[in-house]
Chain A
Amino acid sequence: MAEQAIKVENLVKHFGKDESLVRVIEGADFQVDKGELVALIAPSGAGKTTLLMMIGCVEEPTSGTIWLGDEKVYDNAWLTKETRKIRREKIGFIFQAHYLIPFLNVIENVTLVPQTNGVSKAEAEKDAMALLDYFDIADKAHSMSSQLSGGQNQRVAIARALANKPQIILADEPTAALDLTRSVSVVKMLKKIAIDQDVAIIMVTHDEAMLPLCDRILKIEDKKVVSQAVPENTKMI
């Protein structure tokens, strides 16, 4: 039986109050298991990033419950003051652009979070080299991000997201700036990571061509989050 990585119950997010109240999410209920790659789709402004930020313990929900793994982190209020520690230990982030720290080289970017978590430099670098090797960029370990191609940087960014051995990866439109071939390559890589590393991945995307590569779709409709299977008529690439 698949192990739960994310569980959300009756999650609500409002901005403002009284006359300026904006209802973004009204009662989201879903679960994502380890090893799953789930696409999060919705029109622009529907609340995809807000939902991602709530799961990522960045944006505080208005109410509801969030479990990350078997730990309940939110129950109408954060259950810990150290939400940043939760992010550092349980979650990996991938962005539209690589957003590597420009003054750190590749291996320093990858080992930054593990070292902050208390992992020794030697151990963090050993794990990082294994990850870079997995992504076929081990030879770039001591290069600066400015010396790498866009694709190489994106792979380093993914390696960074995995470096803290997270249970969850939240990817915010990781293929938005890529052409179709590279997009497919990245999403296939994420799928492989989900299985190999046993992590749950939620990927925000606007690109319907990526959906067949995912296990499931979460769609925001009328401020509700609906879980869907990948449509059978979607063209496989």
Chain B
Amino acid sequence: MINLAQKDVKHTLGKFLVTAMGVGMLLGIVLIMIGVYRGMIVDAQVLLNDIKADLWVVQEDTLGPFAEASRIHDDFKDTLRVIDGIKSAEALTFQNIQLPQKPQPIRVVAMGFDPLGTIDPINPERIVQGHGLEREHYEIVVTDTTGFKLGDRIPLLRHSYKVVGVTHGTVSSGGDPLVYISLKDAQELQFSYSNNRIRNDRARGFKNSEVLMVNTVVAKVKPGYDVNAVAKEIKRFKYKSVYTAAEQKWILTKNLVKKASKQIGMFTGILIIVSTIIIALIIYTMTLEKMKEIAIMKLIGIPNSMIIKMIAQETLLLGFLAFIFANIFSHLIYGKFPKRVVLEIPDAWMLFIVVIIASILASLVGIKKVINADPSSAIGG
């Protein structure tokens, strides 16, 4: 039996492929959108996974430094260290800073930590050049996307910082490049003001007491102790909010990304609807172009089922090819996005199912046209 769809596609192969490519690019954007969301989730967890803290202690009644402003005294780490079950505790700061880079400054998140402390937040596997921080002042570890190289000197406020290490893949919870400086330098950068401002504050009787503040204190729990029980103890007696690693992960991946995921979900949904409409319009146009042939086929006795099969097969083939092109297109461009885009195979399969369903729906438009085609229209020129 002659396969009409195969013959028709072969006859207009170039046009068919270009059409599939166009739809594929649209579907590729759907994959990229999903990848952006996945990237946000991954980015949100990079820092969390690198620090490997069991507990995050933050300002009372706040969700912590990733969600809102959180200030606690840096000596709270000493208080934590004596609590039963705590193995180690260190203070951390997070702040947005601009690194002078050409042609324009680059915005990064700087994490401050004690290089001589017991918790090193730099994942050694991410260091591609140099080493981590070893001194308490004027050293910086940058991520490779900042464009700085090992040994470069970066002027910040009143000092010059030497790049002692370059990492790969370190980002803040928001996906911005992450750099590391010592806690003391971070506090100075965060709370030091210009000479004029200091003189003015002194004249007003203000004292700069914020210099000893940090954004969070992280702690590791001794083996054998229940993390939740230790957290409960800290919460009860020390008037701080405490989050376990699991809770912090929830805050980062669910709470903070919730609106963004809805936003992207809406976009993805709209794009899928638009793709379905476009496939339907393409199939409708392709069917319209063949109406004379369809009328002739009906007149000479070709059953509807055979003609409908042709339309359905062409639609499914168009959807399948568009899906292939979508994957090729998205894999070609995803690396060029400034923030992380994560393309996952399950997402691609989900899109495949959606495309097949969309194609079946779209083919109904062409099939309706076939069923209604009048065979007598073939006669009379």
Contacts and interface: CB of A to CB of B under 8 A. Distances in A.
A113 B297 CA distance: 9
A29 interface: no
B300 A103 contact: no
B296 A53 contact: no
Contacts of B375: 58
Contacts of B12: 103
A103 B298 contact: no
B301 A89 contact: yes
B303 A96 contact: no
Given A99-B378, A104-B2, A115-B2, A88 B301 contact: yes
A89 B10 CA distance: 29
Interface in B249-299: 292-293, 296-299
A93 B376 contact: no
Interface string A100-117: 011110001001110110
A116 B293 contact: no
Contacts of A115: 1-2
B2 A111 contact: yes
A49 interface: yes
Contact of A49 (B1, B292, B379): B379
B365 interface: no
B293 A113 contact: no
B381 A116 contact: no
A56 B301 CA distance: 10
Contacts, number: 79
Contact of A113 (B292, B302, B378, B381): B302
B299 A103 contact: no
Interface residues of B, number: 25
A58 to B, nearest CB: 5
B381 A93 contact: no
Nearest to A170: B379
Interface residues of A, number: 35
Interface string B1-32: 11010011011100000000000000000000
B292 A108 contact: no
Given A84-B303, A88-B300, A104 B379 contact: no
B57 to A, nearest CB: 72
Interface string A30-60: 0000000000000000000100110010110
B380 A49 contact: yes
A85 interface: yes
A95 interface: yes
Q: Which of B296, B301, B380 is the most central at the interface, judged by chain A CB atoms within 10 Å of its CB?
A: B301
Contacts of B297: 101, 112
Contacts of B380: 49, 96, 172
Contacts of A184: none
The 9 closest A-B pairs by CB, nearest first: A88-B301, A103-B11, A87-B301, A103-B8, A103-B7, A172-B379, A99-B296, A58-B376, A84-B301
Interface of B: 1-2, 4, 7-8, 10-12, 292-293, 296-303, 306, 375-376, 378-381
Interface of A: 49, 52-53, 56, 58-59, 84-89, 91-93, 95-97, 99, 101-104, 108, 111-113, 115-116, 121, 144, 160, 164, 172, 176
